[in-house]
């Protein structure tokens, strides 16, 4: 097969190494599935790789492999098993049998989640038919990293792992990130020549650099501008450090896009946030999944918002929990409200403190201001749900739906036993337990008659 003459003409295959056990995590969960900003570490790497529009993404898996594959079953990747963990060179070799020799190969790592598309694009620009591109980083404390050894002309000669490095080599601050790009034909040849003659008795991918130099193939290094991009995760301390780095980066992006954050250090984004103009987010808010915030939305302190769409000029007060809900414009939610999945609120709806809404639609200007439960219901416009009102939607086996017409008022401590229909303009007296349909425009009272028992006496406690 003829090798392409320009790097731009060479299709790209990405190999992601994700076979490590991660013993230092002290977890039953494989290391690459540990969560970072709400997604598995490996998911971050796959998502970034996909932005490069490769011909294929190959994931080399091993420890906990079935769990890894099951968790990421929806990803369009090719899975390659590394049955024995014999080093990074051996891992890449497992995937190479599926990659045409005319491709460029980019090697990434499932536990290095923050590497950016821009950095990888710069690296790939250095990789060609007769060029190996290597991503390096300069660290103040290089302990644990392989060192980049250069000659007197500052050309890369080889990479030495710390365990195999001399005292002089350990003083080098330029470190190997493990990320490289090379033509598949040459990479295959080098991998076939690897030997495990090192302290770890493993086949190091880094040894291909010295082989390239020996074969007079140009080794071109690109140094990452931000060390956080290339930091790996080996234990929970490093995972927590990268979580803070990720959240700081996300907060900065939101600020630069015009969102006001009460404290950039006290917001967690575990997904994707789309937003309009003049959005305000108070401290300790958690945004998960896909969240859309309209213009002038205000999020109060301590709120958890998951997979929600919130309309213009809506305010979410303190300590609300909302998931899989669509909130219209000019609504007011909370404080201490809970919106469970399947909620749709029209414009100007008020949901007050200690109100729970689930799988329900509420029409424009409807209100449930305090201490209420609205479940499996359809409410018209301008409905007023009184304090303590609940919809009894569950009979112990099935959920039943309730329909409430426009302009209905329920008094405090009303129980609507579903399935039931309440006609438009009806009023239900406080303390009623309603089990039958309610006529439109009428007052309905469904409670026991108050009685006074003149002859009753309170029981007396016996004297000790």
CA-CA distance, 77 to 18, in Å (whole number)?
13
What separation in angstroms does the CA of 345 have from each of 115, 277, 311, 361? 40, 21, 10, 6
Closest to 335 measured CA to CA, from 367, 303, 307, 376: 303
CB 394 within 8 A of CB 415: no
Token look-up 């349909």 returns 437
CA-CA distance, 77 to 10, in Å (whole number)?
20
CB 448 within 8 A of CB 433: no
**Active-site entry in 370, 400, 409, 436:** 370
Complete DSSP assignment for 292-312:
EE-TT-EE-TT-EEES-EE-T
Q: Based on C-alpha coordinates, what's the Rg of the chain?
A: 31
What separation in angstroms does the CA of 11 have from each of 8, 24, 52, 98, 316? 8, 37, 11, 14, 48
CA-CA distance, 191 to 204, in Å (whole number)?
9
> Tokens representing 85?
């963990």
Q: Is 370 a catalytic residue?
A: yes
CB 33 within 8 A of CB 41: yes
CA dihedral 389, 391, 395, 396 (to 10 degrees): -70
Known catalytic residues are 370
């Amino acid at each position: 097969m003829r090798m392409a003459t320009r790097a731009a003409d060479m299709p790209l295959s990405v190999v992601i190494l994700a076979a490590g056990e991660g013993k230092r995590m002290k977890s039953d969960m494989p290391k690459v599935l540990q969560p970072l900003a709400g997604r598995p570490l490996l998911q971050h790497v796959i998502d970034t790789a996909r932005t490069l529009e490769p011909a294929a993404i190959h994931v080399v898996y091993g420890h906990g492999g079935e769990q890894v594959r099951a968790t990421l079953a929806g990803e369009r990747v090719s899975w390659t098993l590394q049955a024995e963990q014999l080093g990074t060179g051996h891992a890449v070799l497992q995937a190479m049998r599926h990659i045409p020799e005319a491709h460029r190969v980019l090697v990434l790592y499932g536990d290095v989640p923050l590497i950016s598309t821009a950095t990888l694009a710069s690296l790939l620009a250095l990789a060609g038919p007769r060029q190996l591109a290597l991503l390096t980083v300069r660290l103040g404390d290089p302990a644990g990293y392989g060192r980049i050894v250069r000659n007197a002309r500052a050309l890369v000669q080889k990479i030495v792992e710390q365990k195999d490095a001399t005292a002089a080599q350990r003083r080098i601050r330029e470190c190997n990130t493990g990320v490289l790009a090379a033509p598949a034909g040459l990479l295959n040849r080098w991998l076939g020549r690897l030997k495990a003659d090192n302290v770890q008795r493993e086949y190091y991918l880094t040894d291909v650099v010295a082989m390239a130099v020996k074969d007079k193939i140009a080794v071109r290094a690109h140094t990452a501008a931000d060390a956080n991009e290339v930091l790996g995760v080996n234990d929970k301390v490093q995972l927590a450090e990268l979580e803070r780095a990720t959240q700081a980066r996300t907060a900065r992006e939101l600020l630069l896009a015009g969102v006001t954050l009460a404290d950039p250090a006290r917001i967690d984004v575990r997904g994707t946030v789309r937003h309009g103009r003049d959005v305000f987010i108070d401290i300790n808010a958690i945004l998960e999944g896909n969240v859309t915030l309209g213009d002038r939305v205000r999020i109060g302190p301590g709120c958890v918002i998951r997979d929600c769409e919130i309309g213009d000029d809506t305010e979410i007060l303190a300590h609300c929990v909302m998931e899989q809900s669509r909130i219209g414009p000019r609504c007011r939610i909370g404080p201490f409200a809970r919106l469970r999945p399947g909620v749709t609120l029209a414009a100007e709806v008020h949901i007050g403190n200690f109100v729970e809404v689930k799988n329900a639609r509420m029409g424009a200007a409807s209100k449930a201001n305090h201490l209420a439960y609205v479940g499996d219901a359809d409410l018209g416009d301008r409905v007023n749900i009184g304090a303590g009102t609940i919809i009894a939607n569950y009979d112990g086996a099935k959920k039943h739906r309730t329909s409430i017409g426009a302009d209905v008022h329920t008094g405090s401590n009303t129980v609507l036993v579903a399935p039931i229909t309440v006609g438009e303009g009806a009023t239900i007296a406080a303390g009623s337990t309603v089990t039958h349909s309610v006529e439109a425009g009428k007052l309905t009272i469904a409670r026991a008659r108050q009685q006074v028992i003149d002859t009753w006496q309170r029981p007396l406690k016996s004297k000790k």
